[in-house]
Structure 1
Amino acid sequence: MNPTRGRTVAELVAAWWGDHRPGLWFEGRVLTRHEVAAGAAGRAALLADLLPPGAAPHIGVLLDNTPEFPMWLGAAALAGAAVAGINPTRRGAELARDILHTECRILVTDRTHLPLLADLDLPGVRLLRTDSEEYADLLTSYADAHPDACRATPSDRFLLYFTSGSTGAPKAAICSQGRLAAAGRSLADQFALGPDDVHYLCMPMFHGNAVIAGWAPALVSGAGVALRRRFSASGFLPDVRRYGVTYFTYVGRAIQYVLATEPSTEDRDHSLRLGFGTEAGAVDAAAFERRFGARLVEGYGSSEGGAAVQWSPGTPPGAVGRAAPGLVVLDQETRAECPPARFDGAGRLLNGDEAIGELVNRGPSPFEGYWRNPAAEAERRRDGWYWTGDLFYRDADGYLYFAGRTDDRLRVDGENLAAAMIENILARYEGAAAVAVYAVPDPVTGDQVMATIAGAFDALSFAEFLLSQPDLGTKMAPRFVRVVERMPVTATNKIHRAALRKEGFRCADPVWWRPPGECAYRRLTADDLEHAEGPPAPTRGPSPVRRQGLEPRTR
């Protein structure tokens, strides 16, 4: 079967009908493409009968990455319904809020997740437990269902996926069938994905990364899909070999976890050729390619679909890609376009204060809004443009560099800094398995730089490491360093920055700090807290460079 160019997800699912090649692998099970399409068709027919008349055609899916998840995605597409992926790390009232806010009339789940729903008040929500006899009996009645793609249109609402944020309740971004099909087609074309490829879905399918960047291009290209119930660093390479994986997606700290596994002489014995995702960082991407011989491509796309930056050959190291027409970096206050970045010979950004701004799409935007959240929608569409909420800077040749979220910006001694830039430098520290940089309040005004490092830390070697980094600006050195065994992450393996910021340096983990005017890091004690939070060093004292601890150590 040739790859399909369907305009809707329903057409892409229906195209698998009659194709008896292997299409889905999961824990020893193999389903043909036809079986996947038939399973989706049966569930679509069941869904049509179960949805109450007049209700929003929305279903919630509270599952790990099992075959039921993609089959219910296919079912929703065929039925013209929408799927809300429910985050299993949410609890209590917050979990209930996600389900009720998206008006899910049916919640598909299993025995594993039932304890999460205990004592929740979910009026009007019917539970379908995929591992129950009742569910099996229901599906038997629809075993002869045929996929009918004619019900769906490109504008049909298909995904309601929650965007993560540091404050407030998650927002449910809308993705239509047409937009998801187009996104899958774009990635399949960009990476020359075809029917002989196998896509590995190890990121959670309730998140947009796995569905948009992994499942959708597989449907478009006719590739097979290998599912991992939950991400496992130790299981990554064995799965790649077992299923003949050629392409995978990642997000957050997943690459660092894979790199932390024990190296082997057989690390290159596999079929993998490409990984696509975000937040691996240049250091880890290079280490992954050296060790496993497979290239990682860091991409950028806002969760809501309002802006994207595509990598292309010739993109400088550290850059995401060239700015497409309409993409600009704007000063958040003046709305003026930020000037191009200037670098010194060491690659240090010289004018970050003026060059770093918010990435804005002033051209046509595929952003389709948020479900029942007009205030958040208006915030995204200020001045008729799409504001991404992400910080970037642009070089003289038009290449864009990611600098973090808008709430990851730090203002130190009157200078604006971006957390992502500092993290890229600290990631070179030999003991660091993962790094997070964020702001803690300065005693007088602005911020102080704090870093959390997962891995091994030695105060002397870290201070000497900082001195040897030519692109570390005089305001960038962390005042505080928190050392953890494992970086706290969200369900999608992104660093849990909100929790780190909230705890600051008053946390249970050991914290090292560089008091103003001192050269070395030392353990932060209870007696130090008054100085850390109290009045700053006198104006007529050590220079700003000395207060940041960047001067050479006296031998």
Structure 2
Amino acid sequence: MSQPTGSDVLSQAAAKYPDQTAIRDPDRDISCSFADLDEGARCVAVGLREIGFEPGDHLTAILTDSVEFLELMFACAHAGLVFNPISSRMAPERLAYVLDHAESAGLVFDTQCQGTVAEVAAEDRPSTLIGVRTDGSLADHAYSSLGQSSAPEALESGHEYHVEIDESDPALLLYTSGTTGQPKGVLHTHRNVVEATYASLPYNRFRPTDVNLALGPMYHVGPLLCNILPGLSMGATTVVQQEFDSAVTLEWIESEGITAMWGVPTHYRALVDDESISGRDISHLRMLQYSGAAMPEAVARRCREHVPGCEFVNAYGTTEIVFGTVLFPEFHDDKLGSIGRAVPKAEVRVVDPETADPAETLPANEVGELLVKTPSCMREYWRNPEATADAIVDGWYRTGDLGRRDEDGFLYFVDRKDDMIVSGGENIYPAEVEDVLHDHADVTAGAVVGVPDEEWGAVVTAFVVPDDESLTADNLESHFLNSDAIESYKRPRRYEFRDTLPMTQSDKIDRQALLESVADE
């Protein structure tokens, strides 16, 4: 018996829930049933083969979140192509690099991204360009025309381009943020995709009646493989929001009957801070999933004030492993801040960061590097065997994340190993300083970095977005000195006030940009 592949996730759902709505885009006022989405993906697969794509080719997509994004992903799976979705905000120079490094045979882009594609030199673009709802001035083919002339007959007769796909074949090529250098290409197989999708089900707890909204862009592994695909596999409806807007999100929660959401804590803070929330009926929300950071207690409390019955689920993962741990609702409040325990079929160990020996785990509450072994772990870094060998040792993926395990077996993310600050010979983790910083009522957002210093090695520096313009460094200094949650020597010695914090394309704070902003001061 052959193992399921990426396309089977949708095909099997379409067989069980053909007439239910798979995707809804309120902005465009369009909906697509499971049967229509599956047939559309098959038609596009035929069209891609007709215009010259061969199994194994890499197809890059620079698209905003849309019905077409998901349809194209499944079309690539049917046709045996490797789907390479990238950030719709990617700069032209970075796009040119990815197209070259990924050895892309084609590029799919939409109206919002056409300007970026146009800025890439013609010789740096793939030979085949496909436009989604574009004016046709740059594209060789219109996405809407793919397979339209021949696919219906081919599907009806069963004479589709037949591609034998093995679970070990590549399916997804995802690029990391590359904040300190060029991004790495993370290659996932069909088995990785399927394992991640089905391993997510116990914590997502989707029902066929659910209406699901992922607040992160689809090119991210979190919303795509840990939320959207699991939801589709269970017959849930996915609502598409191109750009996060708290007021619009609240409107849609009410009007679309959203019952489940995925986001990062920043999203949920923005929702409870939005003044329009008091006028919205969002009582049908039952599940709030998040990852990327710990949920501040104040944000969780305020969410429950508006939706008393909602449950929280926290998951931990990376682009390379998809995800490895989950904190279930039953433990969420008692273990707030934890990333939970390993998911089914995965193992997580805390080891010495210097040796990373999986055979020598550290005792409870001792901080070390998190190693993860899971069937959803990437096959390799594309065209980078050295980085692959460094990252995967005896089947264990070195996350580069520091964490600890408590006496009950619950894991906690401490910080990125590379972000640790050594000041005056002491190890200081930015996350523990940021936790105290965010406890101040007048701090909207904050980030902590170590600014190089000749005397101390590094100075703990806090970048703060104040909620109240009267907030001063002295106020924050008093806040830290009066806190029982952190030792005084770990407190910031310098404060920088900002209107906003720079973000990476993965919607994480760009610490390198913060460091560079004060490098010459």
Q: Normalised by the shorter chain, which TM-score bucket?
A: 0.7 to 0.9
Contact 2:351–2:369 (8 Å) recurs in 1: yes
Q: Which residue of the partner structure matches residue 227 of structure 2?
A: 214
**CA shift in 2, pair 1:505/1:270, >3 Å:** farther
Contact 2:208–2:235 (8 Å) recurs in 1: yes
Match of 2:362 among 338, 362, 369: 338
- Read off the aligned partner of 1:243 and give its amino acid letter: E
Contact 2:10–2:233 (8 Å) recurs in 1: no
**CA shift in 2, pair 1:223/1:71, >3 Å:** same
Match of 1:290 among 305, 327, 332: 305
- Read off the aligned partner of 2:362 and give its amino acid letter: C
Q: Which residue of the partner structure matches residue 25 of structure 1?
A: 24
Where 2:233 maps in the other structure, the secondary structure is: helix
The equivalences for 1:361-440 within 5 A come to: 361=372, 366-382=377-393, 385-440=396-451
Whole-angstrom CA distance in 2 between matches of 1:491 and 1:150: 34
Deviation readout 1:272-309 (Å, 9 max, x if unpaired)? 21122222533333433333443332211122117612
Contact 1:328–1:361 (8 Å) recurs in 2: yes
TM-score by length of 2: 0.87
**CA shift in 2, pair 1:52/1:183, >3 Å:** closer
Where 2:212 maps in the other structure, the secondary structure is: strand
Where 1:256 maps in the other structure, the secondary structure is: helix
Whole-angstrom CA distance in 1 between matches of 2:281 and 2:453: 48
Does 2:508 match 1:494?
yes
CA drift at 1:267 = 4.7
Q: Which residue of the partner structure matches residue 149 of structure 2?
A: 141
Contact 2:461–2:494 (8 Å) recurs in 1: yes
The equivalences for 1:442-521 within 5 A come to: 442-455=453-466, 456=468, 457-504=471-518
Deviation readout 1:216-240 (Å, 9 max, x if unpaired)? 1022211111101122222111122
**CA shift in 2, pair 1:331/1:469, >3 Å:** same
CA drift at 1:42 = 0.8
Contact 1:199–1:226 (8 Å) recurs in 2: yes
Q: Which residue of the partner structure matches residue 6 of structure 2?
A: 9
Gaps spanning 5+ residues in structure 2: where?
none
CA drift at 1:468 = 2.6
Contact 1:107–1:127 (8 Å) recurs in 2: yes
Match of 2:133 among 127, 131, 134: 131
**CA shift in 2, pair 1:363/1:81, >3 Å:** closer
The equivalences for 1:88-127 within 5 A come to: 88-120=88-120, 121-127=123-129
Contact 2:444–2:465 (8 Å) recurs in 1: yes
Contact 2:46–2:151 (8 Å) recurs in 1: no
Answer with 149-158 or 414-423: which moved more.
149-158
- Read off the aligned partner of 1:89 and give its amino acid letter: R
CA drift at 1:270 = 3.9
Contact 2:90–2:505 (8 Å) recurs in 1: no
CA drift at 1:334 = 4.4
Contact 1:277–1:297 (8 Å) recurs in 2: yes
Where 2:415 maps in the other structure, the secondary structure is: strand
Whole-angstrom CA distance in 1 between matches of 2:376 and 2:244: 32
**CA shift in 2, pair 1:106/1:175, >3 Å:** same
Gaps spanning 5+ residues in structure 1: where?
342-354, 507-528, 530-555
The equivalences for 1:529-540 within 5 A come to: none
Whole-angstrom CA distance in 1 between matches of 2:117 and 2:129: 10
CA drift at 1:387 = 0.7
- Read off the aligned partner of 1:101 and give its amino acid letter: H
Whole-angstrom CA distance in 2 between matches of 1:504 and 1:398: 40
**CA shift in 2, pair 1:363/1:35, >3 Å:** closer
CA drift at 1:411 = 1.2
Q: Which residue of the partner structure matches residue 352 of structure 1?
A: none
Does 2:324 match 1:308?
yes
Whole-angstrom CA distance in 2 between matches of 1:272 and 1:408: 36
- Read off the aligned partner of 1:128 and give its amino acid letter: I
Deviation readout 1:333-386 (Å, 9 max, x if unpaired)? 244543432xxxxxxxxxxxxx22211136877332111111211120246632
CA drift at 1:151 = 3.6
Where 1:430 maps in the other structure, the secondary structure is: coil
Does 2:349 match 1:328?
yes
Bigger radius of gyration: 1
CA drift at 1:116 = 0.7
Runs of 4+ aligned residues of structure 1 deviating over 6 Å after TM superposition are: 147-150, 362-365
TM-score by length of 1: 0.82
Whole-angstrom CA distance in 2 between matches of 1:91 and 1:267: 37
CA drift at 1:97 = 0.8
Contact 2:204–2:227 (8 Å) recurs in 1: no
Deviation readout 1:17-74 (Å, 9 max, x if unpaired)? 4612222111211122221112111111111222445x74211111101111000011
CA drift at 1:138 = 3.8
- Read off the aligned partner of 1:140 and give its amino acid letter: Q
Whole-angstrom CA distance in 2 between matches of 1:385 and 1:34: 39
Answer with 490-499 or 368-377: which moved more.
490-499
Answer with 77-86 or 112-121: which moved more.
112-121
Contact 1:256–1:280 (8 Å) recurs in 2: no
Match of 1:277 among 287, 290, 307: 290
Contact 2:3–2:167 (8 Å) recurs in 1: no
Whole-angstrom CA distance in 2 between matches of 1:157 and 1:177: 6
**CA shift in 2, pair 1:42/1:418, >3 Å:** same
Contact 1:6–1:12 (8 Å) recurs in 2: no
Contact 1:288–1:295 (8 Å) recurs in 2: no
**CA shift in 2, pair 1:472/1:263, >3 Å:** farther
Contact 1:51–1:106 (8 Å) recurs in 2: no
Contact 1:6–1:220 (8 Å) recurs in 2: no
Whole-angstrom CA distance in 1 between matches of 2:102 and 2:519: 37
**CA shift in 2, pair 1:487/1:32, >3 Å:** same
Contact 1:252–1:495 (8 Å) recurs in 2: no
Whole-angstrom CA distance in 2 between matches of 1:305 and 1:50: 34
Q: How many aligned residue pairs are there?
A: 489
**CA shift in 2, pair 1:87/1:125, >3 Å:** farther
CA drift at 1:249 = 1.5
CA drift at 1:268 = 5.0
- Read off the aligned partner of 1:308 and give its amino acid letter: G
Deviation readout 1:465-520 (Å, 9 max, x if unpaired)? 223311111222111111122222123321112211222375xxxxxxxxxxxxxx
- Read off the aligned partner of 2:148 and give its amino acid letter: T
RMSD, matched Cα: 2.6
Whole-angstrom CA distance in 1 between matches of 2:322 and 2:256: 34
